[in-house]
Amino acid sequence: MATFNSRRRFCGQILAAAAGVAAPTFSARAQSKKIVYATWGGTWEKAIRGAWFDPFTKKTGIEVVAIGGNTYGKFKAMVDSGRVEWDVVEVNPDFQWIGQKDNLLEKLDFQVIDTSKIMDGQHLITPYSVPQVLWSRVRFYNTNAFKGDNHPKSWADVWDVKRFPGKRTFASKANSGTLEVALIADGVPMDKLYPLDVDRALKSLAKIKGDIIWGDTNAQLEQFMKDGQAVTGLVPDGRALAAVDNGAPIVIDYSQSMMTWSTMVIPRGAPNRDGAMQFLKYAMTPEAQAAVALAYTYGPVTPDAYKMIPMDRAKILSGGPQQNGKYFLADEKWWGENLATANDKLNAWRMA
Amino acid sequence: MATPASWMSSRAIALLALPAMLFLAVLFFYPLGTLIAYSFSGSGPAANYQKILANPVYLQILQRTFTISVATTLICALIGYPLARQIVAASPRGRAILLAIILVPFWTNLLVRSYGWMIILNPKGAINQALLALGVIDAPLALVYNTTGVLIGMVQIMLPYMIFPIVAVMSRIDARLVIAARSLGASPLASFIFVYLPMTLPGLMAGALLVFTISLGFFVIPAILGGPRDLMLAQLIEFNINNTLNWGFAGALSTVLLVATVGVYLVAQRWFGLGSIWGAIAR
Amino acid sequence: MRRGWAGRLAGAIFVSAACVFLILPTLIVVPMSFTSAEQLIFPPVGFSLRWYVNYATTNAWRLATLNSVLTATGSMVLATVLGTLAALAISRGRLPFRGGITTLFLFPMIVPSIVTAVAIYNTFAKLHLTDSVAGMILAHTILGLPFVVINVLAVLQKMDWRIVDAARSCGATPTRALFLVTLPAIMPGVLAGAVFAFVTSFDEVVVALFLSGTSAMTLPVQMWNGIRFEINPTVAAVSVILIAFATTVFATITTLKRAPS
């Protein structure tokens, strides 16, 4: 029976508990109950909500609020203004250096974040960033245009427009792998690509200039694959897989593919820096990596995750068995430092 | 012309501009000034500007940007003026329908519209299929990923901006003046050129000004519908702001764009002085 | 103006062609909004209303729509008021450097929106105007002002000021003359400017992207969400809904205007 006294006792207990909790840790609690995660959004956001955010919240009690609009311009504007709203941000790997140069990033606490399970790879981890997931740029070919065994099997083949006629598609931004595969087609071995000889790559591209249809957005690349405007080319593996799911008559070829990754950073002045570190620690565990690889067609950065991924799934992921020994890792540091000049050269060449 | 004293003192009227001016000064011009000032930093005060002048690609891009904008403006004027005329001459119901149709593009997100054009215009798209089936052409026309595609996309977006000001001005024209001219013996063509057209000129100028200026800043349409040669300045500025974080250079490019645009305004005012917005004021 | 049937036919064909041109991409998008796939791809895959359902039931989309309507309405009103007053001042007031001042009012239109976004972010952040509808309204007012100024100025050219003098000589105060005589006379310009201010705000994505946050997301920003991976077909569904809505409004207004007589 809830008498006045028992209620008073109950209230007293609550107050005591609150007082005990309130005094030293009140501010930390208020701060640690949520982090803001800036994401590219879309179906990817749905995937990481299920694979990362919800399990993380269950484990630590820290709520993850997702927000879009993670452009570099807004990142810099936000940090420069001193009122940072984001705690963790997804970025392309070139930002590992571009962001550092402008002093926009928090140094990561590797006492909290365990990076021992992350695969070996040049520049994957920096004092300011951890890799998020792996993805690749792969070659595809259209099965209506190239029947049976008569399809391009290498970049040199793609450069052979006589044997394999039709339009080739490449993404128009300089760091989309276009220059790298142009060099490979010209005979440069995959382990000797960097530093890129941009002029040589452009000379190589010039040989097929008239047969290139440039993709400025991922949506365009997918449209080209679906309706056959391009019969081969270099595209992100996620886009190619989505195109296949939507009925595009293409096959994905992992030979001579370019592997790269996406990155997570913490903006300098983030409101919940500690919560952000906790999140990154969670995301770097093989369990979390396996979960995200099952939810979206990206590869885990921790090889141990493959123990938890069935073979059917593994063979369409970056870093999976089908890609073993057939790829080169993009040198994102070179790109972080040379994007501007390379893009200028590519634009000039495309406009001529 | 009535004297200002009969309404309000012209000083008082001038003060009406104050709220807007203060508003812009604090929230727009001060921040913009900061960014422009930033463009003078770097390895030297003029380093960013020297970079623009040194590389012919940038000037090429600037020139192409202006060319595409001028072309868009001309096409919009040629299509928009007669269309405005039809709208004004239509019945009230017809007018409402036409205005609703003109506003339809605005309710369609820019991304969706660009994507729609990409699908319609590509070699395997609806237009080419139709023309091929009708036997009008033998091979698909290159309607997209080139300047044609950019112009088609931009004209579709810009037409309403041309039409509305013209309609607004046309609806205030006293039609009796044209009838008077005709009754005095002028041919339809002459009464149009010498009576009607000059009266509608402020609307045409306003529309042209809007279309030209907005076109200069476009980057979604040229990116999705254009080819390598259609790289416009705003795309380059966006790249420097959102990819390389080279804000000093982006600021310099913007300043160059600003100066060039104001220059074009001055030249246009000299040529079209009579009837232009500022020309009429100066009178 | 009398024209023969040939002239009228040519006119009708021209108008029809122009109208088709204006709505063509939207027409293409209508079937694509019924796709069952998770991205906008042509030809569409399957048939489903899921994207319409998604729009109606997802909180993010509903909130974004509300924010967009609030922002567009607010910035339209503010821009129209400020801009009309400014245009009146330029046209009739004794302002030094009228041409220069007019040009200054056009700057928000000349400067690419990405530059405006980056430039004003810092100021807006310091004034706590980021991630708020109020801030979004102010930012879009900046962008909408030039449209109002240009349109009102254009109509002011044709303004016969004698009617204002007549009103004043009949005893009207300056304010009454302004509201009862001047404003109705320039109304087409004011309306055109207001429409542009509204639409510019409603469709604006670049500045909105910078100023948006967890609470102040607008419709275009929501549409660009996930653009790196796919174009969400909800975007197509939203466009169809908006057009249907706008057309219904127009039809209602037109019918209502004709009813009394």
Sequence spans of domains, chain C? 65-258
CB contact under 8 A, C41 and A223: yes
My answer on whether A59 and A181 are in the same domain is no
User: Quick count: other Cβ atoms within 10 Å of Cβ A289?
Assistant: 29
- DSSP helix, strand, coil percent of chain A (3-state; round to 5): 45, 20, 35
Residues, chain C, total? 261
Residue predicted with more confidence, C176 or B277: C176
- Which member of A67, A78, A81 has the closest CB to residue C126? A81
- Say whether residue A228 is in contact with chain B using an 8 A CB cutoff: yes
Question: How confident is residue B20, by pLDDT bands cut at 50, 70 and 90?
Answer: very high
pLDDT tens, position by position, A70-79: 999 999 999 9
The domain of A125 spans 31-134+262-314
Q: How far is CA B241 from the centre of its chain?
A: 24
Residue A195 sits in the same domain as residue A230? yes
pTM: 0.90
The count of structural domains within chain A is 2
Which pLDDT value is given to residue C169?
Answer: 87
Q: Helices C50-57 and C234-258 meet at what angle, rounded to 10?
A: 80
Interface probe, candidates C230, C231, C234, C235, chain A, greatest A C-beta count within 10 A:
C230
Q: Please state at what angle helix C113-126 crosses helix A72-81, rounded to 10 degrees.
A: 30
Name the minimum distance, in Å, from the CA of B259 to any CA of chain A: 23
For residues A192 and A157, state if they share a domain: yes
Task: Give the residues across from A328 on adjacent strands.
Answer: A258
Contact residues on chain C for A85, CB-CB shorter than 8 A: 130-131, 213-214
Strands annotated E in chain A: 34-38, 63-67, 88-91, 129-142, 168-171, 212-215, 232-236, 250-265, 327-329
d(CA B131, CA B137): 6
Within a domain: A212: yes
- The pLDDT tens digits for C14-31 are 999 999 999 898 888 888
In this prediction, residues B155-181 reach a mean pLDDT of 88
**B23-67: pLDDT as tens digits:** 999 999 999 999 999 999 888 888 999 999 998 889 999 999 999
Tell whether A243 and A301 lie within a shared domain.
no
pLDDT at residue B265, as a whole number: 86
Cross-chain Cβ contact C226/A40 below 8 Å: yes
Q: Which of C11, C115, C154 sits opposite B277 (nearest CB)?
A: C154
| Among candidates A227, A340, A351 on the partner chain, residue whose Cβ is nearest the Cβ of B231 | A351
Range of weakest confidence among A90-94, B72-76, B220-224, C144-148: B220-224
Among C36, C38, C40, C41, pick the best mutation site for testing chain A contact (most A Cβ within 10 A).
C41
Question: Are the beta carbons of A180 and A258 closer than 8 angstroms?
Answer: yes
Contact C37, C233 (CB under 8 A): yes
pLDDT value at residue B272: 64
Asked if residue A93 and residue A236 are part of one domain, the reply reads no
Selected from 1.10.3470.10, 1.10.3720.10, 3.30.470.10, 3.90.1150.150, the CATH number assigned to the domain covering B50-282 reads 1.10.3720.10
d(CA A179, CA A204): 9
User: Could you tell me the CA-to-CA distances from A18 to A4, A12, A24, A25, C52 in Å, in that order?
Assistant: 21, 10, 11, 11, 47
**A246 and A151 share one domain:** yes
Q: CB atoms < 10 A from the CB of C187, how many?
A: 16
Instruction: Examine the domain organization and report whether A309 and A174 are in the same domain.
Output: no
Q: Which residues of chain A have pLDDT under 50?
A: 1-30
Give the class (CATH, top level) of C65-258: mainly alpha
Residue numbers in C near B156 (CB within 8 A): 21-22, 24-25
Tell me which residues of chain A, numbers 128 to 187, contact chain B at a CB-CB cutoff of 8 Å: 172-173
**Residue C177 pLDDT greater than 90, yes or no:** no
> Does the beta-carbon distance from B31 to C90 stay under 8 Å?
no
**Are A77 and A141 within one domain?**
no
The separation between the first and the last C-alpha atoms of chain C, rounded to the nearest angstrom, is: 27
Q: Which of C228, C230, C235 best tests the A interface by mutation, with the highest count of A CBs <10 A?
A: C228
A161 in any annotated domain: yes
The beta-carbon neighbor of B106 closest among C109, C199, C205 is C199
How far apart (Å, rounded) are the C-alpha atoms in residues A22 and A249?
62
Task: Express each pLDDT in C198-240 by its tens digit.
Answer: 999 998 999 999 999 888 899 999 998 888 888 888 988 998 8
Both A84 and A173 in one domain: the answer is no
- C-chain CB neighbours of A65 within 8 Å are 214
Residues B3, C59: Cα–Cα separation, whole Å: 58
pLDDT of B143 strictly over 60: yes
Is residue A154 a part of any domain in this protein? yes
Q: Which residues pair with A253 in a beta bridge?
A: A139
Provide the pairing of β-strand A88-91 with A250-265.
Answer: antiparallel
Position C176 scores a pLDDT of: 81
| C2 interfaces chain A, CB cutoff of 8 Å | no
Specify the range with the lowest mean pLDDT, choosing from A173-177, B123-127, B251-255: B123-127
The pLDDT of residue B64 = 93
Confidence of residue C254 (pLDDT cuts 50, 70, 90): confident
Q: And the tokens for A38?
A: 């800036």
Q: What is the DSSP string of chain C?
A: ----HHHHHHHHHHHHHHHHHHHHHHHHHHHHTT--SSS--SSPPS---HHHHHHHH-HHHHHHHHHHHHHHHHHHHHHHHHHHHHHHHHHHS--TTHHHHHHHHHHHHHS-HHHHHHHHHHHHHHTT-TTSHHHHHHHHHHHHHHHHHHHHHHHHTT--THHHHHHHHTT--HHHHIIIIIHHHHHHHHHHHHHHHHHHHHH--HHHHHH--SS---HHHHHHTTTTT---THHHHHHHHHHHHHHHHHHHHHHHHHS--
Give how far B134 is from chain A: nearest CA, Å: 22
What is the predicted pLDDT for the residue at B237?
Answer: 94
The verdict on a CB contact (< 8 Å) between C225 and A42 is yes
Within this chain, do residues A181 and A309 fall inside the same structural domain, yes or no?
A: no
Q: What was the pLDDT predicted at A287?
A: 96
pLDDT at B280 over 50: no
A210 Cβ contact partners less than 8 Å away, ≥ 6 residues apart: none
CATH number of the domain that residue A41 is part of? 3.40.190.10
Q: What is the ipTM of this complex?
A: 0.89
Phi and psi of A310, rounded to 5°? -65, 155
Q: Work out the percent of chain C whose per-residue pLDDT is above 90.
A: 51
Name the pLDDT band for B15 (thresholds 50, 70, 90): confident
Q: Which of C106, C149, B280, B71 is nearest to B272 (CA)?
A: B280
Report which of residues C182 and A99 the model is more confident about: A99
Is A169 found in the same domain as A38? no
Neighbours of chain A (3+ CB pairs under 8 A): B, C
Residues 36-95 of A with CB under 8 A from B: 71-73, 76
Chain A nearest-CA residue for B119: A223
Do A90 and A166 reside in the same domain of the chain? no
Q: Is the per-residue pLDDT at C32 higher than 90?
A: no
C97-147 pLDDT tens trace: 888 888 999 999 999 999 999 999 999 999 999 999 999 999 999 999 999
Q: How many helices (H) and strands (E) does chain B have?
A: 16, 0
